[in-house]
Amino acid sequence: MKGLIWFRHDLRLADNPALVALSRRCNEALMVYVIDPEWFRPAHYQSRHLGRFREEFLYQSLRALERELKKRKQRLVVKVGNPLQVIPDLCKKHRIDLVAVTDHPGVYERQQVAYLSRTLSCEVSVSESFSLFLRSQLTFDKASYPQTFSQFRKHVEKQNILPCIPISAPDSLPKHIDERRDIWGGQEFVYDLTPYHGGEDSGMVQLNQFFWKTQGLKNYKETRNGLDGWQFSSRLSAWLANGSISPRIVAAELDNYEYRHGRSDSTQSMYSELLWREYFQWMMHYHGASMFAFEGIKNKRPLTTYYCQNYKAWEQGTTEYPIVNACMRQLNQTGYMSNRGRQIVASCLVNELGVDWRFGAAYFEQQLIDFDVATNYGNWQYLAGVGADPRGQRRFNLEKQTEVYDPDGAFVDKWANAKSSESLLKY
């Protein structure tokens, strides 16, 4: 039997049910990743889907996946094109019997799988591993999905819904099917992502560092609102976003930590962050395209529009608000911004500058190494008052935020003389 696995947001061997299913049923297989040229073209709201930081992190992750597959006498076939043309062409050319793919809550991602399921003559097997829970563990529909995170968490706790146990990588892989690879990843990158480095091994190293070696988890509740540095948060979001590690692996390691050291406010804060991620994944699963709508899932129109001058000042870090400028310049030079920083700049764009929240969400999509569609758009709706926040529109007092989170001005001073985004984004 011949198979094909289409890697998307599951760039790993461990805890990959799609890969295990393929390995059990097929004796020959293609391992495929498709780079869509549309990712690099400006789309809605003046931004690209994929900016240079995440592009480099993706290529690092693909090279790491290729190395692991080679150890098992397989190879990664990277193709460039529209996946809804590439995958059917490969299936026809090699007479594929089974296509394996991992489910993802994204609107386009689900549409792609639905299209292949309808049009391919072979079997399409869809596995779940991008979230903590399985679809069968949740009893919601669109109308009954919790309107707030607190309601979601209470439901999970009351029903004793537990994360799935991660599974091991397959012992062996099917024999590879010969197929040419397209040219990919040959760009000269000018940004150093260190200490970020894409790939499953690097993600597991970071997990081990934060949980065990540096004891970052021990103090997580106290440090998680930091604005700069590496150890104030787990920094696992980038590896989770492209699937180099799974949230179930993180949850299992958290259980292991609590077994050894006991439950604490910090471990509960870490699990709460995993649940927030989970909440947004299922929100996108149930609400779909409403996650991108101006009115949001609340069907409420914000009193904002597009002011070009205001938006550009925000994007380049040249507003009248020093804390916002520092956060945006950090993002533009590193591809990263802390969770606290994201809330601050989102509140500024919407409330102080009066700009349509979708322009900010799209810019984050382009710039962030750890962009995750559900988490990004869920959080932006939350700040814009059209999403999951029970209090309505969140407006941060920027002076107070500065006093609390940058009391000595070190963060603002560090980024005050950094270049604006305009000089950095030379693609």
Residues ≥6 apart with Cβ < 8 Å to 259: none
Residue 127 per-residue DSSP state:
E
Residue 150 is assigned to a ligand binding site: no
d(C-alpha 268, C-alpha 147), whole Å: 22
| Placement of tokens 């098992």 in the chain | 72
d(C-alpha 160, C-alpha 319), whole Å: 47
Residue 131 is assigned to a ligand binding site: no
CA 337 to chain centre: 14
Residue 280 is assigned to a ligand binding site: no
Tell me which residue of 258, 405, 393, 264 sits closest to 337, measured CA to CA.
405
- H/E run at residue 98: strand 98-102
Residue 255 is assigned to a ligand binding site: no
Tell me which residue of 109, 112, 130, 103 sits closest to 12, measured CA to CA.
130
d(C-alpha 348, C-alpha 342), whole Å: 10
Residue 61 is assigned to a ligand binding site: no
Give the alpha-carbon dihedral of 23, 184, 115, 136, to 10 degrees. 50
Tokens coding 364: 């984050």
Q: Which long-range contacts (CB under 8 A, 24 or more apart) does 115-122 make?
A: 115/84, 116/84, 116/87, 116/88, 119/88, 120/87, 120/88, 120/91, 121/91, 122/91, 122/96, 122/97, 122/98
Listing DSSP states for 387-420 in one string gives: SS-TT-S----HHHHHHHH-TTSHHHHHHHTSPP
Tell me which residue of 349, 357, 355 sits closest to 324, measured CA to CA.
349
**C-alpha angle 360-366-369 in degrees, rounded to nearest 5:** 110
CA 127 to chain centre: 18
Tell me which residue of 134, 152, 112 sits closest to 246, measured CA to CA.
134
Tell me which residue of 92, 115, 83 sits closest to 6, measured CA to CA.
83
Residue 372 is assigned to a ligand binding site: yes
In sequence order, the β-bridge partners of residue 126 are 101
d(C-alpha 361, C-alpha 373), whole Å: 9
Residue 211 is assigned to a ligand binding site: no
For the annotated binding site for FAD, the residues are 220, 233-237, 370-372
For the annotated binding site, the residues are 220, 233-237, 370-372
